[in-house]
């Protein structure tokens, strides 16, 4: 009996560290995400918000959580790294997972690249042409100044070779509730507030997006009123999001990909 217990303990000692390190991320999908429930912003504002949610990673190893923060992602160039690894776990058999390097490769131009405080990376739409109508979500406090770095800010050469957003429609959404998982936070119970048109400057540095006062003041009002709400359990945590839709572009000299380097407060 003692021998059996000792054997079980030995198996657990070796298994738990391996199991805890299992990497379960999935690749980002490229091109036009027409099959997603949020492929069209106008449709989303009126019909599809009941089942709509957004996930953000807690660390840096799960950029794939941002896949549905956009309607399109550019396929990376170059040879992809090793896709998967397999190994055996005693008592469970063979396990196959994606490598972190492959996930990072597929998500190179995902929305995660616009939230990493790195001007050497950028989100890019991934459809033929200029990406008109494509968009990116960002979790932003609309009561504070919003900073955006238009285009591909890695260097001047890449900035002018690629498209930059010119005219945009900016949609304002609010999540009433959020919940936390092991590697991510989920935002749900969304509703749409308003939208406005905004023209970005052709400027390879940060510039400010100005949210109309009527919109930001309305958000302050409903946010304050929500503090006594029990809709999400003990408290409601209203979180504001913007979705920037590409309406026109400053044309790149070499490529038709439209990029945004950073979006933040």
CA 126 to CA 131: how far, in whole Å?
7
Q: What is the DSSP string of 46-90?
A: HTSGGG--EEEESSSS-GGGGGGGBSEEPPPPS-----EEEEEET
Predicted confidence at residue 21, as pLDDT, reads 59
CA 134 to CA 217: how far, in whole Å?
28
Q: What is the pTM of this model?
A: 0.88
Q: Which two tokens stand for residue 156?
A: 């001047």
**Angle of CA points 149, 197, 163, to nearest 5°:** 40
Asked if pLDDT for residue 18 goes beyond 70, the answer is no
Q: Which two tokens stand for residue 119?
A: 């001007």
* pLDDT, tens digit, 9 for 90 and up, residues 29-63: 988 865 455 568 988 887 678 889 999 988 788 99
* pLDDT, tens digit, 9 for 90 and up, residues 125-145: 999 999 999 999 999 999 999
Q: What is the DSSP string of the chain?
A: -HHHHHHHHHHHHHHHHHHHT-----PPPPEE-TTSTTS-HHHHHHTSGGG--EEEESSSS-GGGGGGGBSEEPPPPS-----EEEEEETTTEEEEEE-HHHHHHHTTTSGGGGSSS-TT--EE--SSTT-TT-EEEEE--TTS-EEEEES-TT-HHHHHHSEEE-EEEEEEEEEEEEEE-SSEEEEEEEEEEEEEEEEPP--SSEEEE---HHHHHHHHHHHHHGGG--TTSS----EEEEEEEE--EEPPSS---EEEEEEE-
pLDDT band at 83 (very low <50, low <70, confident <90, very high): very high
Asked if pLDDT for residue 157 goes beyond 90, the answer is yes
- Enumerate residues 6+ apart whose C-beta is below 8 A from 79: none
Cross-sheet strand order for the sheet of 184-199:
54-57, 184-199, 167-180, 239-246, 135-139
Asked if pLDDT for residue 211 goes beyond 70, the answer is yes
Predicted confidence at residue 44, as pLDDT, reads 87
Tell me which range, 33-42, 91-100, 256-265, is most confidently predicted by mean pLDDT: 256-265
């Amino acid at each position: 009996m003692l021998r059996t217990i000792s054997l079980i303990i030995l198996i657990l000692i070796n298994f738990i560290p391996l199991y805890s390190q299992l990497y379960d991320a999935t690749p980002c999908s490229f091109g036009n995400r027409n099959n997603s429930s949020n492929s069209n912003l106008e449709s989303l504002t009126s019909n599809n918000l009941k089942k709509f949610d957004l996930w953000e990673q807690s660390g840096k190893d799960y950029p794939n959580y941002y896949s549905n923060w956009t309607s399109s992602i550019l396929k990376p160039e170059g040879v992809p790294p090793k896709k998967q690894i397999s190994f055996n776990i005693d008592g469970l058999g063979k396990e196959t997972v994606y490598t972190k390097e492959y996930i990072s490769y597929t998500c190179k131009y995902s929305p995660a690249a616009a939230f990493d405080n790195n001007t050497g990376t950028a989100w890019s739409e991934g459809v033929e042409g200029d990406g008109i109508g494509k968009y990116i979500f960002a979790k932003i406090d609309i009561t504070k100044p919003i900073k955006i770095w238009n285009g591909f800010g890695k260097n001047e050469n890449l900035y002018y070779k690629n498209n930059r957003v010119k005219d945009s429609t900016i949609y304002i959404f609010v999540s009433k509730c959020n919940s936390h998982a092991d590697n991510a936070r989920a935002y749900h119970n969304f509703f749409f507030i308003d939208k406005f048109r905004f023209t970005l400057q052709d400027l390879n540095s940060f510039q400010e997006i100005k949210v109309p006062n009527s919109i930001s003041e309305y958000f302050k009002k409903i946010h304050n009123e929500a503090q006594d709400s029990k809709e999400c359990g003990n408290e409601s945590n209203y979180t504001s999001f913007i979705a920037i839709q590409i309406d026109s572009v400053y044309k790149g000299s070499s490529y038709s990909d439209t990029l945004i380097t950073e979006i933040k407060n």
